[in-house]
Amino acid sequence: MHHILAIDQGTTSSRAMVFDEALTLKSVAQEEFPQIYPRPGWVEHDPSDLWSSVAATARAAVERAEIDGSLAAIGITNQRETVVVWERASGHPIHNAIVWQDRRTADLCHALAEAGQEPLITGRTGLLLDPYFSATKLKWLLDHVEGARARARRGELLFGTVDSYLIWKLTGGRAHVTDATNAARTMLFDIGRGTWDAEICGLLDIPMEMLPEVKDCAAPFGMTRADLFGREIPILGVAGDQQAATCGQACFRPGMMKSTYGTGCFALLNTGEERVTSRARLLTTIAYQLGGKRTYALEGSIFIAGAVVQWLRDGLKIIREAGETQGLALSSDAAQDLVIVPAFTGLGAPWWKPESRGAVFGLTRNSGPAEFARAALESVGYQTRDLLEAMRADWAAGAEGVLRVDGGMAASDWSMQFLADIIGAPVDRPVVRETTALGVAWLAGMQAGLRPGPEEFAADWALERRFEPQMEAAVREAKYDRWGRAVRAVMAV
Ligand SMILES: Nc1ncnc2c1ncn2[C@@H]1O[C@H](COP(=O)(O)OP(=O)(O)O)[C@@H](O)[C@H]1O
Ligand SMILES: O=P(O)(O)OC[C@H](O)CO
């Protein structure tokens, strides 16, 4: 029996999982690492923390799985958009990684929009002019680290998203590569042609010498150093974490969609070969690239989902652990209809209002922890419906009715039932909820010749529970209408 190691390098922790060749999970290791907030709105990671947590969890997962040298392939999935720049000669980063959540380039994005650059950028990359993406963060580094641009031009510095940096470390500096899904999040990549875009690089003064080679999601990315796992192991699968979850959820047919509920929520709708241009301010992105063929997706990104539950725990201190929200919601007063708009760091898709902040509507003297818990869980459902409405507006062919869910918050039955109620469609939760790691393990396993293609993988996808909508249509629409008014009020303040 061969085994596959999936490395999932996320925003707050690194995880490693070993799967056998039938994709049964054998072991897990996880390590959190520090978040660095140098100023309000700035978020950084120390690249050495990313690397050491990946190396430690990878080794621990392999040890725990007791697989006796049968490791055949590695897959890497990662937090997307985060930028690392390092020296080709030494492998040393020239600065902390600038994380996807970092807002330091908001003014630069604003200036580019004022200068009329958004149509070019959106047309080529499918993305909006927002600090979320890598390009303006990379420009910031080249502008602020002394001598960086000249060194990059001489070929001394390399840029990568986290996957690319990890591959450089794993291979001992023998491969400077990335995959098409990660490249698609940089705002430097022409997603139609599948190449780095010279015009956008020119506009931002980014030397193209520092960009990695872009490969399919299932491809030979390089061999690890022999000392890491006792011999060289091939890295054969790479995808951004939301795209890996799309694969793990087997959303291979146009119209299929998944929504992942972690700290934030990211919904991807497979649009097949069609590169749908959003009129509703969603993102167009690459879902996966296999055999040189790109499959596209519409993506809605919400920055606060599970994080609203963390706020109940750490901010309001009305719960000790996330699971308590379910009991509270069940005991809440149905006559009160509290609405929480959790715009703690602004509003993401489809509004893109970085300056908005949150609000609570409908407070009475009887409003207490139970009503807050229910409103917090409901806010995640409402935000998802906003994304689905935008997807419907954008794509006439339209999403199939069912939404596949995963991520930590998908564990909450109450939340998933409300989600089904408010979107008015079934919500399917799979048996395997580690869809991100599963997706990239499948990609690597397929490239290794251990796993068959998408059709067979899709046939193996197993439902744990379907949540059917039960709410009366009139109640649903009245509640959603009230949410819409609350969001508009938040944007107006
Ligand atoms: N039973 C639950 N009910 C509601 N929210 C939950 C529950 N379990 C976990 N969460 C939320 O899910 C999030 C963790 O999910 P995870 O997929 O691990 O996130 P990430 O990968 O972004 O760190 C947390 O924000 C937590 O508040
Ligand atoms: O690390 P996660 O799971 O919060 O995912 C982050 C996303 O990739 C950001 O686009």
Is it the case that residue 41 has pLDDT exceeding 90? no
Among 237, 107, 94, 226, residue whose Cα is nearest residue 160 = 94
Task: Give the residue, by CA position, lying nearest to ligand 1 atom 18.
Answer: 408
Is 306 known as a binding-site position? yes
262 within ligand 2 shell (Cβ under 6 A): yes
CA distance 105 to 130: 8
Kindly report the pTM of this predicted structure.
0.93
| ipTM exceeding cut-off 0.95 for this assembly | yes
Show the tokens assigned to 96: 């902390």
| Predicted confidence (pLDDT) per residue in 5-19, tens digit | 999 999 889 999 999
CA distance 280 to 421: 23
380 within ligand 1 shell (Cβ under 6 A): no
Is it the case that residue 395 has pLDDT exceeding 90? no
402 CA from centroid of ligand 1 (Å): 22
Amino acid identity for residue 217 in this structure:
C
Q: Residues 6 or more apart from 63 whose CB is under 8 A from it?
A: none
| Predicted confidence (pLDDT) per residue in 325-372, tens digit | 999 999 999 889 999 999 988 888 899 887 788 999 999 999 999 999
Share of the chain above pLDDT 90, in %: 85
134 CA from centroid of ligand 2 (Å): 13
**The predicted structure's pLDDT at residue 477:** 97
Task: Give the residue, by CA position, lying nearest to ligand 1 atom 6.
Answer: 409
Alpha-carbon dihedral sign for residues 79, 81, 86, 92: negative
245 within ligand 1 shell (Cβ under 6 A): no
11 within ligand 2 shell (Cβ under 6 A): yes
Q: What is the DSSP string of 450-463?
A: SS--HHHHHHH--E
469 within ligand 1 shell (Cβ under 6 A): no
372 CA from centroid of ligand 1 (Å): 17
Show the tokens assigned to 215: 């490969």
DSSP code for 277: P
307 within ligand 1 shell (Cβ under 6 A): yes
Domains in the chain (CATH in brackets) are 3-240 (3.30.420.40), 249-430+462-493 (3.30.420.40)
Is 11 known as a binding-site position? yes
**The predicted structure's pLDDT at residue 245:** 97
Could you give the 3-state DSSP secondary structure of residue 381? helix
Task: Give the residue, by CA position, lying nearest to ligand 2 atom 10.
Answer: 80
Share of the chain above pLDDT 70, in %: 99
| Predicted confidence (pLDDT) per residue in 75-107, tens digit | 999 999 999 999 999 999 999 999 998 889 989
Q: What is the mean pLDDT of residues 105-129?
A: 94
